[in-house]
Chains A and B, each alone.
Chain A
Amino acid sequence: MSYTAEISRANPSLFLFLIDRSGSMSDPWGADQGKSKAEGVSDGMNRLLQNLAIKCARNEGVRRFFQVGILGYGEAVGPALSGPLAGRESVWVDEVANHPARIEQRVRRVSDGAGGVLEEKIKFPVWFEPAARGGTPMTAVFRRAKGILDAWLKDHPGCYPPIVVNVTDGEATDGDPTSAARELRESRSADGEVLVFNVHISGAKGVPFVYAADDRGLPDEFAKRLFHMSSLLPPHTLKLAEHEGLPVRAGSRGFVFNGDVVSFIRFLDIGTRPGNLR
């Protein structure tokens, strides 16, 4: 059965995030007044990296269960981590934990348990900064990702299949990325094909399409293309999403269209929780 390999220090896996940094990412996004799409996405990515580090933290330190890479695409295509990890295509999760670009103090509002709200100071490490310039060279970033995946799979042929999450707010400006995405999905480990998930975000009002199982009802050709570029959710992810009350069914894909901040964050959380972490 596919997508059952254990993830351990002896058999680590890879997350690759492809983040749209085109000019339109500077448009406002969602309920959080004054935040751009680029800022919303970078907050989500930083929180995700934080969660990954925490998830892999054991009493003695952070275990090398994963490598993580972030490629940005916009004015340029390339590695997008900031700080001491800048310029690296992928890094071990313990390097993530130990080398944020900086640690911000942020305020979180929490319930005081008696109907009131308390403000709590929390540490917010930052590895990934917002940027919004240039076009949307999605085909190019998929091709760049293919090189990273091929090298990884050569060294880790039995791994839980790498997960690629592409986050974009618009159509590719460098041709149809369909075949480049297919080539990614056709790369495989002994445990199954690489998972390619696509998250389209939008500031427009309208219902997000999440985890669709077919392309009926999707608003346009671009949405349909992105749907067909997305992998089926593996069985344990489907179960997890079901358990969390998300609208999934057999055939649901790792796909969000017209995503708002909530559906984006939710997707990152569900889509990056492989089952068998040892």
Chain B
Amino acid sequence: MSVEPRATAVAPVARPLVRFPVAHHAIVPKGGHAMADCEDALEGVLGADRVLYSVVGGADDCVPLASTMPPARVVHRFGVADGATESYQSGPWARALASAFAHGRLFADRQRWPDLLQPVRSAWAGSLPTSAVPWFLEEKRAAGAFAALVGLSVEVDTDHAHADRGDWSALATGDSCLFHVSGDRLAVAFPLSAPEQFNAPPLLIGSVRPATRDVSFPSTTSGEWVRGDRFFLMSDAIARWFLTTALAGGKPWDDIEPQLGPGRHEAFLAWIDRLRFAGTLRNDDVAVIRVRMEAGP
């Protein structure tokens, strides 16, 4: 359940440049539910223009898609989406959104947003069972699925003499969140920045184009990263825990970091169970991607 990108052949330097960040992920269904019931999804593509690795929520391992020298400037993209449980086939919709973002097919262009969503919506519609549904699913099917999405793009300039820093940008609709930890400080919480904001019903992206105005255009933000920075993308329950802990003076990034990584899935599950049992984490699906801006091994 992790991606430790292999180093590509590079000229020896005193300290390896951050060509590819170190990315780990974890995804866990609600307590008492099977992975098939999980409506959270995540996907990350390192070096999106020349896809090197893709992590797909629910898969056991990363999938090497190609192996190539990266171009001078690479963009790494990560998406976490959270399907609304009560809506119809929201898990596939969440997966479609996270994947479309990670592969660079969905980005914050207000003019083109409905057009960018259209193929994702079509893909979702094409994945639905064609058989007739009972009366109680008819309305739900017509209304479609709804999901929150948070996406992070990290730019790395591999030729630059100072490739220890770069730009990042993010988009979000709903209550899936991005946290940027710089040094030992929470620098950005996006799009929600206070725990009580999780109480309001979130605006979500629908899988059916609304008859009236499509209000799903995401919020956006951007910033600069420096070597050693960490990004966390999270679905709402774990994001709320993270934010609450940070605002109370804690360092949730230090708590979650040791639970992520190759061979850590069982440890992550046990850690999530402890948080749920203690009542500090709501029993909900959990999806996390952690990106550390260090050179991969």
Kindly count the residue-residue contacts between A and B in the assembled complex, taking CB atoms under 8 Å apart: 38
Taking a contact as CB atoms under 8 Å apart, the answer to whether B211 and A123 are in contact is no
Residue of B nearest to A94 (CB): B136
Q: Which residues of A contact B134 (CB under 8 A)?
A: 97-98
Taking a contact as CB atoms under 8 Å apart, the answer to whether B30 and A278 are in contact is yes
Report the Cα distance A97→B137, complex, angstroms.
Answer: 10
A8 on the B face (CB < 8 A): yes
B136 touches which of A6, A9, A57, A277 (Cβ 8 Å): A57
Taking a contact as CB atoms under 8 Å apart, the answer to whether B32 and A8 are in contact is yes
A103 on the B face (CB < 8 A): yes
Q: Which residues of B contact A243 (CB under 8 A)?
A: 200-201
Q: Which residues of B contact A18 (CB under 8 A)?
A: none
The dominant DSSP class at the A interface is mixed
Taking a contact as CB atoms under 8 Å apart, the answer to whether A6 and B283 are in contact is yes
Q: Which residues of B contact A278 (CB under 8 A)?
A: 30, 32, 85, 283-284
Report the Cα distance A103→B136, complex, angstroms.
Answer: 12
Report the Cα distance A97→B134, complex, angstroms.
Answer: 9
Q: Which residues of B contact A6 (CB under 8 A)?
A: 283
B88 touches which of A9, A59, A277 (Cβ 8 Å): A59
B residues 110-163 touching A (CB-CB < 8 Å): 134-140
Taking a contact as CB atoms under 8 Å apart, the answer to whether B136 and A54 are in contact is yes
A249 on the B face (CB < 8 A): no
B residues 190-210 touching A (CB-CB < 8 Å): 199-201
Q: Which residues of A contact B211 (CB under 8 A)?
A: 113
Q: Which residues of B contact A8 (CB under 8 A)?
A: 32
Q: How many of chain B's residues touch chain A, expressed as a range?
A: 20 to 34
**Whole-angstrom distance between the Cβ of A24 and the nearest chain B Cβ:** 34
Report the Cα distance A55→B89, complex, angstroms.
Answer: 14
Q: Which residues of A contact B88 (CB under 8 A)?
A: 59
Q: How many A residues touch B, CB cutoff 8 Å?
A: 22
A residues 45-78 touching B (CB-CB < 8 Å): 50, 53-55, 57-59, 62
Taking a contact as CB atoms under 8 Å apart, the answer to whether A59 and B136 are in contact is no
Given known pairs A55-B86, A113-B211, A113-B212, the reply for A62 and B32 (CB within 8 Å) is no
**Whole-angstrom distance between the Cβ of B27 and the nearest chain A Cβ:** 17
Taking a contact as CB atoms under 8 Å apart, the answer to whether A53 and B136 are in contact is yes
Q: Which residues of A contact B85 (CB under 8 A)?
A: 58, 277-278
Residue of B nearest to A52 (CB): B136
Residue of A nearest to B32 (CB): A10
Q: Which residues of A contact B135 (CB under 8 A)?
A: 103, 123, 125
Q: Which residues of A contact B201 (CB under 8 A)?
A: 243
Taking a contact as CB atoms under 8 Å apart, the answer to whether A57 and B283 are in contact is no
Report the Cα distance A53→B211, complex, angstroms.
Answer: 26
Taking a contact as CB atoms under 8 Å apart, the answer to whether A62 and B283 are in contact is no
Q: Mark A108-128, 1 if CB is under 8 A from B, else 0.
A: 000001000000000101000
A239 on the B face (CB < 8 A): yes
Residue of B nearest to A62 (CB): B136
Report the Cα distance A58→B91, complex, angstroms.
Answer: 11
**Whole-angstrom distance between the Cβ of A96 and the nearest chain B Cβ:** 9
**Whole-angstrom distance between the Cβ of B72 and the nearest chain A Cβ:** 45
Q: Mark A260-278, 1 if CB is under 8 A from B, else 0.
A: 0000000000000000011
Report the Cα distance A58→B137, complex, angstroms.
Answer: 8
Taking a contact as CB atoms under 8 Å apart, the answer to whether A97 and B283 are in contact is no
Interface-centre pick from B30, B135, B212 (highest chain A CB count, 10 A): B135
A residues 118-168 touching B (CB-CB < 8 Å): 123, 125
Q: Which residues of A contact B89 (CB under 8 A)?
A: 59
Q: Which residues of A contact B30 (CB under 8 A)?
A: 278
Report the Cα distance A278→B199, complex, angstroms.
Answer: 16
Q: Which residues of B contact A125 (CB under 8 A)?
A: 135
Residue of A nearest to B90 (CB): A59
Taking a contact as CB atoms under 8 Å apart, the answer to whether A97 and B136 are in contact is yes
Q: Mark B86-119, 1 if CB is under 8 A from A, else 0.
A: 1011000000000000000000000000000000
Q: Mark B175-202, 1 if CB is under 8 A from A, else 0.
A: 0000000000000000000000001110
Residue of A nearest to B128 (CB): A59
Q: Which residues of A contact B137 (CB under 8 A)?
A: 54, 57, 59
Q: Mark B64-88, 1 if CB is under 8 A from A, else 0.
A: 0000000000000000000001101
Q: Mark B48-75, 1 if CB is under 8 A from A, else 0.
A: 0000000000000000000000000000
Report the Cα distance A103→B284, complex, angstroms.
Answer: 35
Q: Interface of B with A (CB < 8 Å)?
A: 30, 32, 85-86, 88-89, 134-140, 199-201, 211-212, 283-284
Q: A277-B85, A278-B284 are in contact. List 4 more A-B contacts (CB 8 A).
A: A54-B139, A62-B136, A97-B136, A243-B200
The 6 nearest A-B residue pairs measured at CB: A53-B136, A57-B136, A97-B136, A123-B135, A54-B136, A10-B32
Sample 29 A-B pairs with CB under 8 A, ordered by A number.
A6-B283, A8-B32, A9-B32, A10-B32, A50-B136, A53-B136, A54-B137, A54-B139, A54-B140, A55-B86, A57-B136, A57-B137, A57-B140, A59-B88, A62-B136, A97-B134, A103-B135, A113-B211, A113-B212, A123-B135, A123-B138, A125-B135, A239-B199, A243-B200, A243-B201, A277-B85, A278-B30, A278-B283, A278-B284
